[in-house]
């Protein structure tokens, strides 16, 4: 039976830096715990602020957002590593925090940073992982061989992983997560640090795994990856879902689709008002400094008209950046910030 | 309880220990055996120490080897795996309650400490002979004490490994392990502290005292030692305390 993923109003508030092994990215380790003095309240970090998701069985779902948005914490809650402050999380029918062992059988997890067993060779890592999940020795050896082959690691199979490159470690981490054939696969920033060729191999393998009927939850801040792989995605920021839908639906929800980022010599409310009147312009927003964001249903053809209006208003047009309909535009539209900021 | 996962993790630890066997051997035995040679052989042979010191020294050296091995085997990997390499994450996601992973670490550490303890006896005996008056009248009692000592080393390793920062490993040895060994009645019997009554009472908070004295009580009962009941009660108490503390810290490190 293929399992889906569901979260209900998940909240996670940290009152101290989380332990590194809890799988939450974006925090440094070794930070001293703040000591409570008298009744002074502990500083709180709201990592998740009411995340509700319903991911269908057999779906590739993506959590897109900048660093610190709450993607890894969501994955942590769903994989038994981060206890939510409130709310519920389910894998299939099973409440993650009431049936941890059952849930762990159903999931495979690729963490944001490599966490391979450095005391073992690549093949041993896969074989011991299979043993933890109760696979027979014959089955373990067979699956390990097939995965090493699939991930192009056969020639390094019997070497210690300490000397592996980042890309090889990442491939092996994904192979390990697939070793026990989980129903739900979590990939936390899987292509971070991978070269383009390996990234394409990864995408191919993810699609192939999904075609065998498995559910995949992937986090990324790479819009291209989300666009290429996901059936649906949620954009999250500051622990909240700010948009949810298919990549096409979400891109279509940006007014006009195209974004022209203008940098002007001086701030001119009059010019912004005139720009709003141009044919095809849906929305004009002043940005920090002397800039303006134009959401429109066309890109390049508008530039000449914008330049003419600026010249007529006596405002210097220093720079124009045109973005075609993209998830980046969507994020910018919702938050006023770029995903990379 | 998922015994398959539990034994698979034990097999993994055994595999890693086998792979590092030679390094482990030197790390565990070199320093204690050099101590045995200088204090038991050279200083006794040159008349600076009485001949009976040979017999007194052997149980203490066995306690040091066992405790050192258990702490090293459990604490060091935990410190690294939780904080730097994160290797433990894969095992935390195995279909098993996470407390059992901590218990597996304790079992693996206990077995390694027992192996170290039983290997150091013939090695030290060979270095010290003749004149070592080993006498084990109750092998079963000796086995019970040896298991309790090994357990203490592993539970101590769990508690230390889950509470120390990676940057504090040096401090762990200089502030915890070294004082524990020097004030743990390893190189001298507890009765030798009679002339220092305050120190004699103060060292009773050191669990290694019960380990060394317990091994003396069961290996060389003809020499003065703490009563066996006190040894067993002391070791059981410290084992329970360290296990409870260790499990609590392990949970804290595993789930945020």
Residues 6+ away with beta carbon under 8 Å from A338 = A328, A331, A332
Maximum distance among all Cα pairs of chain B, rounded to whole angstroms: 61
Partner-chain residue, chosen from A21, A30, A105, that has the shortest CB–CB distance to B92: A21
Residue contact A81–B15, C-beta within 8 A = no
Beta bridge partners of A296: A258, A281
**What pLDDT sits at residue A108?**
94
Confidence category of residue A31, pLDDT binned at 50, 70, 90 = very low
Measured between alpha carbons, how far is A91 from B89 in angstroms, rounded to an integer?
A: 19
Residue A62: pLDDT over 90: yes
Strand A215-220 relative to strand A184-188: parallel, antiparallel, unpaired?
Answer: parallel
Return the SS3 of B251: helix
Distance between A133 CA and the closest CA of chain B, angstroms: 6
Distance between A25 CA and the closest CA of chain B, angstroms: 12
- DSSP code of residue B194: G
Name the packing angle between helices B21-35 and B3-19 (round to 10°). 70
* Average pLDDT across chain A, whole number: 84
**Burial status of residue A167 (CB atoms within 10 A of its CB: 0-12, 13-18, 19 or more):** middle
Task: Name the segment(s) of chain A with CATH classification 3.40.50.300.
Answer: 5-27+43-251
Is the whole model's pTM more than 0.90, yes or no?
no
Measured between alpha carbons, how far is A130 from A328 in angstroms, rounded to an integer?
A: 40
Confidence category of residue A138, pLDDT binned at 50, 70, 90 = very high
pLDDT tens for each residue of B173-182:
888 888 998 9
**What pLDDT sits at residue A39?**
61
pLDDT: is A29 or A127 the higher one? Answer: A127
Residue A27: pLDDT over 90: no
Residue contact B83–A79, C-beta within 8 A = no
- DSSP code of residue A112: S
Contact A272, A315 (CB under 8 A): no
Output the CA–CA distances (angstroms, integers) from residue B53 to A157, B40, B44, B190, B222, in the order listed.
53, 7, 7, 14, 13
Question: Could you tell me how far CA A301 lies from the centroid of its own chain?
Answer: 34
Within 10 angstroms of residue A58's Cβ, the number of other Cβ atoms is 17
- DSSP code of residue B82: H
CA torsion, points A56, A57, A60, A61, in degrees to nearest 10? 30
Alpha helices in chain A (DSSP H): 71-78, 100-106, 122-132, 137-150, 166-178, 196-211, 223-229, 247-252, 269-276, 300-313, 327-335
Number of domains in chain B: 1
Which of A11-25, B64-78, B164-178 reaches the highest mean pLDDT? Answer: B64-78
What CATH class has A255-324? alpha beta
pLDDT tens for each residue of A208-243:
999 998 999 999 877 778 888 898 999 898 899 988
Taking the Cβ of residue B251 and every Cβ of chain A, the question of whether any pair is shorter than 8 Å is answered with: no
Residue contact B89–A115, C-beta within 8 A = yes
Strand A86-91 relative to strand A215-220: parallel, antiparallel, unpaired?
Answer: unpaired
Contact A97, A89 (CB under 8 A): yes
Return the SS3 of A281: strand
Residues 6+ away with beta carbon under 8 Å from B23 = none
pLDDT tens for each residue of B89-125:
999 999 999 999 999 999 999 999 998 888 888 888 8
Measured between alpha carbons, how far is B154 from B105 in angstroms, rounded to an integer?
A: 8
Contact A157, A122 (CB under 8 A): yes
Q: Residue A15: which of A42, A49, A47 has the closest Cα?
A: A42
**What pLDDT sits at residue B29?**
80
Return the SS3 of A243: strand
Name the packing angle between helices B207-219 and B139-161 (round to 10°). 160
Measured between alpha carbons, how far is A317 from B236 in angstroms, rounded to an integer?
A: 80
Residues 6+ away with beta carbon under 8 Å from B248 = none
Task: Name the segment(s) of chain A with CATH classification 3.30.70.100.
Answer: 255-324
For A5-27+43-251, CATH gives 3.40.50.300
Mutate to test the interface with B, among A13, A124, A128 (most CBs of B within 10 A): A128
Contact B235, B242 (CB under 8 A): no
**In chain A, whose CA is at the least distance from the CA of B94?**
A132
**What pLDDT sits at residue A165?**
87
Residue B166's domain comprises 3-254
pLDDT tens for each residue of A233-291:
998 988 999 889 988 888 777 777 788 888 888 878 888 888 888 888 888 888 877 78
- DSSP code of residue B168: G
**In chain B, whose CA is at the least distance from the CA of A173?**
B90
């Amino acid at each position: 039976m293929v399992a889906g993923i569901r979260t209900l109003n998940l909240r996670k508030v940290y009152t101290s830096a989380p332990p590194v092994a809890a799988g939450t990215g974006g925090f440094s380790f070794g930070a001293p715990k703040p000591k409570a003095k008298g009744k002074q309240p502990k500083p709180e970090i709201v990592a998740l602020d009411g995340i509700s998701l319903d991911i269908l069985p057999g779906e590739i779902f993506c959590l897109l957002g900048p660093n610190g948005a709450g993607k890894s914490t969501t994955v942590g809650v769903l994989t038994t590593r981060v206890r939510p402050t409130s709310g519920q999380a389910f894998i299939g029918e099973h409440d993650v925090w009431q049936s941890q062992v059952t849930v762990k059988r159903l999931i495979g997890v690729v963490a944001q940073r490599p966490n391979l067993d450095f005391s073992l060779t690549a093949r041993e890592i896969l074989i011991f992982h299979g043993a933890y999940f109760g696979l027979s020795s014959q089955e373990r050896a067979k699956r390990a061989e097939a995965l090493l082959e699939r991930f192009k690691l056969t020639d390094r199979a019997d070497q210690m992983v300490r000397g592996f490159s980042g890309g090889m470690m990442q491939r092996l981490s994904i192979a390990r997560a697939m070793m026990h054939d989980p129903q739900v696969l979590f990939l936390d920033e899987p292509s971070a640090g991978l070269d383009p060729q390996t990234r394409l191999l990864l995408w191919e393998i993810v699609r192939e795994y999904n075609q065998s009927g498995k559910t995949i939850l992937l986090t990324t801040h790479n819009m291209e990856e989300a666009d290429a792989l996901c059936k649906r995605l949620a954009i999250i920021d500051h622990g909240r879902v700010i948009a949810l839908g298919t990549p096409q639906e979400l891109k279509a929800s940006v007014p006009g689709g195209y974004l022209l980022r203008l940098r002007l010599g001086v701030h001119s409310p009059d010019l912004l008002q005139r720009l709003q009147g141009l044919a095809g312009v849906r929305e004009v927003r002043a940005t920090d400094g002397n800039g303006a964001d134009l959401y429109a249903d066309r890109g390049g053809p508008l530039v000449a008209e914008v330049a003419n209006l600026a010249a007529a208003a006596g405002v210097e047009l220093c720079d124009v950046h045109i973005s075609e309909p993209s998830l980046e535009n969507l994020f910018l539209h919702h938050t006023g910030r770029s995903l990379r900021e | 309880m998922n015994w398959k996962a539990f034994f698979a993790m034990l097999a993994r630890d055994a595999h890693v220990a086998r792979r590092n066997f030679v390094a482990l051997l030197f790390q565990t035995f070199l320093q204690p055996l050099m101590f045995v040679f200088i204090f038991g052989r050279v200083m006794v042979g040159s008349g600076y120490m009485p001949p009976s010191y040979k017999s007194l020294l052997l149980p203490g050296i066995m306690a040091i080897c066992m405790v050192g091995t258990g702490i090293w085997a459990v604490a060091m990997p935990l410190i690294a795996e939780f904080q730097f390499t994160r290797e433990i994450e894969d095992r935390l996601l195995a279909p098993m309650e996470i407390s059992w992973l901590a218990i597996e670490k304790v079992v693996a550490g206990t077995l390694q400490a027992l192996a170290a303890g039983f290997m150091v006896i013939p090695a030290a005996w060979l270095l010290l002979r003749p004149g070592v008056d080993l006498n084990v009248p109750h092998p079963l009692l000796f086995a019970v004490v040896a298991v309790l000592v090994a357990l203490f080393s592993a539970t101590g390793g769990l508690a230390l490994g889950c509470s120390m920062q990676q940057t504090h490993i040096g401090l762990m040895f200089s502030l915890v392990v070294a004082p524990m060994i020097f004030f743990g009645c390893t190189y001298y019997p507890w009765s030798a502290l009679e002339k220092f009554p305050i120190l004699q009472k103060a060292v009773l908070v050191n669990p290694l005292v019960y380990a060394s004295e317990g091994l003396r009580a069961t290996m060389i009962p003809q020499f003065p030692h703490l009563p066996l009941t006190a040894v067993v009660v002391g070791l059981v108490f410290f084992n329970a305390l360290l296990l409870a503390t260790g499990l609590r810290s392990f949970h804290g490190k595993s789930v945020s």
